[in-house]
Structure 1
């Protein structure tokens, strides 16, 4: 099994009626901006471990489990759908707690990359540098899609309550590791075995359940608004590093309805932009090429 070189410490912070689980590496420093890492959909903060181990500098790193993922929990029943704006508010209050008035370096992957980009335009004064790892946004939408979208949202909530959207459980952490390697063929068995024990946990029956609320599978009731996202991008004052993998995830997911070229065109709204590609990597590029990614990020952060 993979051996973590830089151990993390867990903290639980009360944020908006939730006990937010946050991993921290190293300790606060007065001469460096805190480095905040935010994970993607159906992932956890521990997923950053491989890249953190590859960083050369010793930095104070803060990585939360988003609401409904990992060990972040609330006192009552889980919601039956999630709203993107909540991630922005959660992040803002987490920074109030950890960074106070200090600017941060913010790195986000996938969904977390989308959060980072939107937050960077909503609270530009809080960000010193911003790194977006494959946080593409979504395909453009039209108002005519709204009736069907609301209907689908209602139908999926019904399906969730009927138990039809439950996540698969596994007999052992080895089963979870095999699932991770099936999803990402570049993930080595040693890393998969380590990650499985953070990505899932045993339930009362002894089966290993993924630490993600199935309600995250419910479609957003609101249509994605490209124009709104672009206006927020224009308000980002920090230098932005956009990192994509050599494997074209968008072509695999959207089959031509949303392309890498369209994403790169949207990024032209960002005032200060640097774009880079990580070779021999897929969407989970912080797993596939942690050392190459760490060098790239440290060079950009300075």
Structure 2
């Protein structure tokens, strides 16, 4: 049986830097105040804004959260947001899109900002240059990347040039149940009812098959190096309180073959003037799926309500 949201989102669309952007909206945006600001949430790579539904259902039951406006966007080329022209994606565009969304939705007041994984990395950099637009920041497992060396740049460009010669492809599926099984293969902790519900937002029917709601060009690597010294400079300029939440069972750092560790990430995080780290024990990288109620408690306590 599929999950039934207690507080379903409504779909709205917004023109953002020439693209038709899709927003998942909970509540009345006009009710946002400086004390109870709009919460803007951004998802990770190969995910969609609907991914936050389980956590929102838990947040809505907390004191002061029943009517608070919340928005989760689908990044460019994900979900129902338009696919831009071109054959690859550049990280800076996510910051540009987020800046435009916040300006459009909350032009007069700072917002609370939350990002997961890739979205967590985006919101950290964004807040480093737009702290005046943010009241508080929540980063869910946006750990960043290993340090790179300048001599890696030529080979990075060789790979990028080779990859953009031909289009990427996404696997399709025979049924929504197959899509759900694919989600659970990636995250075995994902409950059956969550997987079935999320699969219908993560993919769409097309010519009798189920196709992932993601532009295959997202699979192409960017040509630019990840420059840790630049990232540190962003972190040092964050002037708002930051909550970092991790899943104790995450396997994130195993992806880098000992080139990057949690300890190195925490050293970078020490550069943020006001931060705290909290851990959810029975959760992995998709902690908003694994433990939405416990995560909502961490977020709710950090963000308010404000008296």
Q: TM-score range by the shorter chain?
A: over 0.9
Asked if the contact 1:250/1:259 (under 8 Å) is kept, the reply is no
Report the alpha carbon displacement of residue 206 of structure 1 after superposing the two structures with TM.
1.1
Residue aligning to 2:116: 109
TM-score where L is the length of structure 1: 0.96
Q: What CA distance in whole angstroms lies between the structure 1 residues aligned with 2:292 and 2:250?
A: 18
Report the alpha carbon displacement of residue 50 of structure 1 after superposing the two structures with TM.
0.3
Unaligned runs of 5+ in 1: none
Report the alpha carbon displacement of residue 17 of structure 1 after superposing the two structures with TM.
1.2
Report the alpha carbon displacement of residue 156 of structure 1 after superposing the two structures with TM.
1.2
Q: 1:72 aligns with which of 53, 64, 81?
A: 81
Alignment of 1:158-177 (within 5 A): 158-160=165-167, 165-177=168-180
Q: Deviations over 1:128-150 (max 9, x none)?
A: 00000000111100000000000
Q: Deviations over 1:101-131 (max 9, x none)?
A: 2110001000000011000101010010000
Q: 1:185 aligns with which of 188, 195, 198?
A: 188
Q: Does 1:42 align with 2:46?
A: yes
Report the alpha carbon displacement of residue 200 of structure 1 after superposing the two structures with TM.
0.2
Q: What CA distance in whole angstroms lies between the structure 2 residues aligned with 1:247 and 1:141?
A: 26
Q: What CA distance in whole angstroms lies between the structure 2 residues aligned with 1:30 and 1:179?
A: 38
| Counterparts in 2 of 1:30 and 1:151: CA distance versus 1, 3 Å | closer
The runs of at least 4 aligned residues of structure 1 exceeding 6 Å deviation read none
Unaligned runs of 5+ in 2: none
Aligned length: 295
Residue aligning to 2:72: 63
Asked if the contact 1:250/1:258 (under 8 Å) is kept, the reply is no
Q: 1:86 aligns with which of 93, 106, 130?
A: 93
Q: Does 1:277 align with 2:286?
A: no
| Partner SS state of residue 28, structure 2 | coil
Q: What CA distance in whole angstroms lies between the structure 2 residues aligned with 1:107 and 1:9?
A: 19
Q: 1:200 aligns with which of 203, 208, 211?
A: 203
Q: What CA distance in whole angstroms lies between the structure 1 residues aligned with 2:132 and 2:138?
A: 16
Q: CA RMSD in A?
A: 1.0
Report the alpha carbon displacement of residue 157 of structure 1 after superposing the two structures with TM.
1.0
Q: What CA distance in whole angstroms lies between the structure 2 residues aligned with 1:159 and 1:257?
A: 30
Residue aligning to 1:226: 228
Residue aligning to 1:265: 267
Residue aligning to 1:247: 249
Q: What CA distance in whole angstroms lies between the structure 1 residues aligned with 2:219 and 2:253?
A: 21
Q: What CA distance in whole angstroms lies between the structure 2 residues aligned with 1:25 and 1:236?
A: 28
| Partner SS state of residue 158, structure 1 | coil
Asked if the contact 2:32/2:38 (under 8 Å) is kept, the reply is no
Asked if the contact 1:181/1:187 (under 8 Å) is kept, the reply is yes
